[in-house]
Amino acid sequence: MFPSYEVRLRITEYIMHVNKKLDPAIRIVLLAVPIALCLSCLTRRELVRVTRPAERSDIDIIKSGSALIRSLYCDITAEAVDDALWRKLRTARAYSLVPGSAARQRIPPLTAFHVMVKNTAPTPIRIEKAQVRYGAVARDALAADEIAGRLKSPSYSVYNFCALLSPRRLLEEKDAAGNIDYDRDTISSKLDFVPPNDTVLKLIVFDRIPVEAGTFKLLIRITASGREKIIDFDFTGRDYRTNGEDYNKMMENDAGKEHD
């Protein structure tokens, strides 16, 4: 594994300290090491997971990462939580605990979805269960205590997973997580159902889906008026090297969609 920035910095400081005690010829050789480490910082390409909804006739792609399905009972928007959204969530008072050092905060190694449910029926609806399926594998969504058992490092202590997995009522209509100010635009909901005309949002979290899975399904089961309905989304996950050709092309396409 490539050494972190902090490790490279300490190596450089140690070499510079020892360098003062050596003869000039050896100094030149050792000076090349911190220079190489610095250059590696500039050229390193970080590996990132990009998960996007697959296009389907019954799905409206609202933005590059947000998909909407309209049904008889509700409108459901699902969006994969990427690194940028994790960072946004941990800075919201609605979702964060007492913050530690920013250098120690890490992105949870989980597959998560930001889900918004708008009740378009005249009666309450409930979100009963969520699941992901890929190949022959089916995984249920994790509860907050299960996540806490997996993420015991202090690096994840800033995240309030009880709050993240709990519903919040959206006070004004938004089509994607990037447009929401969670402290201003949402309030906590203690109801175990979605009232008519209300919109609630929450995170649905799973163990990390392996990149080899490629395409997978997110299934959300709801009940309304005593009837059950399963709404499913198709997503595709892929790992990219930042600044790689494919990654840059994808980001350019996303920027074009944002301005359409």
pLDDT per position as a tens digit, 141-186: 999 999 999 999 989 999 999 999 999 999 999 989 999 999 999 9
**For all residues of the chain together, what is the average pLDDT?**
83
Q: Which residue has the tokens 């800033």?
A: 158
Distance CA 122, CA 225 (A): 9
Mean pLDDT of 87-98: 90
Q: Give the pLDDT score at 221.
A: 97
Q: Span 22-50, mean pLDDT?
A: 60
Amino acid at 41: C
Q: Count of CB atoms within 10 A of residue 69's CB?
A: 18
Strand order in the sheet with 186-188: 60-63, 66-70, 74-80, 110-119, 199-207, 168-170, 186-188
Half-sphere exposure of 131 (CA within 13 A, CB side): 14
Q: How many CA atoms lie within 13 A of 191 on its CB side?
A: 16
Q: What is the mean pLDDT of residues 16-25?
A: 61
Dig out the tokens for 113 from the structure. Answer: 């979805």
Task: Residue 222: name the closest of 108, 124, 155 by CA.
Answer: 124
Please name the amino acid found at residue 95: Y
pTM: 0.77
Q: Is the pLDDT of residue 230 over 70?
A: yes
Contact 92, 169 (CB under 8 A): no
pLDDT mean over 121-142 = 96
If you ran DSSP here, which 8-state letter would residue 21 be given? Answer: T
Contact in structure between 155 and 104 (CB atoms under 8 Å): yes
CA 99 to chain centre: 19
pLDDT class of 1 with cuts at 50, 70, 90: very low
CB 237 within 8 A of CB 214: yes
Query: How far is it, in rounded angstroms, from Cα 221 to Cα 129?
Result: 5
Tokens of 240: 């990219």
Q: Which of 142, 147, 134 is nearest to 237 (CA)?
A: 134
Please count the other Cβ atoms lying within 10 Å of the Cβ belonging to residue 117.
25
pLDDT at position 240: 74
Residues 6+ away with beta carbon under 8 Å from 101: none
- Selected from 2.40.30.10, 3.40.50.2300, 2.60.40.3340, 2.40.128.120, the CATH number assigned to the domain covering 52-255 reads 2.60.40.3340
